[in-house]
Amino acid sequence: MSVPFQQNDLILFTGDSITDCDRDRNDPASLGMGYVAMAASRLWTECPELNLRFRNTGIGGDSACHLLARWNEDCIDLQPDWVSILVGVNNTWRRYDCNDPTSDALFEAECRELFDRIKNETTANIILCSPFLLHIDESVARMREDLDPKIGILKKLAGEFNAAWVDFDAAFVAAQQRHIPSYWAEDGVHPSIAGHALMAETWLHAMGE
């Protein structure tokens, strides 16, 4: 396996419930039950000589502003070598379930502050992951009008910050040609086991595996 990681690197995953995935928040070693644990397990198996370390600080329900509020504790203080960030779908979701929209300008400003702090206060490499929605019904599909610009913002920032780009959205678009959307994520947002496995595979591929 060819990966960019070095001996003893600390790889931090953070974001919302998709990253959190039932991790034990009282146990720093807990990686949850989703793509984070799957990707870490693969790397531990394939690259044992690297002695890679992993942390998961994802919290269900979080939007970009919530990450900012805890950025010292959940990222900067840990001084990781790599930071993998998946955020954005709750910024979209809250527009529709709580009438609490996040403008594209505010979303970009909050994400830019997150990434600026990584660059200025750590030596970490940034890995940006695209949020996604699966077309299970029209109520979810119409949220694309809000999410798609935010994906574009993240992709633009990935270029600006020389970050790796993990295109989960494209992976799920392709996967829906293989099987029905609800197979991958029953509610269109939270992945099934198969969906998490697809995410882990996509993340590892983006890292050069």
Catalytic residues: 17, 187, 190
Count of residues making up the chain: 209
- Spatial distance between the Cα atoms of 147 and 131, rounded to a whole number of angstroms: 8
Residue 166 backbone phi and psi in degrees, to 5: -110, 110
The full DSSP string for 136-201 is SSHHHHTTHHHHHHHHHHHHHHHHHTT-EEE-HHHHHHHHTTTS-HHHH-TTSSS--HHHHHHHHH
Owner of token pair 């998490």: 196
For residue 22 the two structure tokens come to 């039932």
- Spatial distance between the Cα atoms of 169 and 104, rounded to a whole number of angstroms: 18
Query: Which residues, including other chains, have CB under 8 Å from residue 156's CB and lie 6 or more apart?
Result: none
CB atoms within 10 A of CB 131: 22
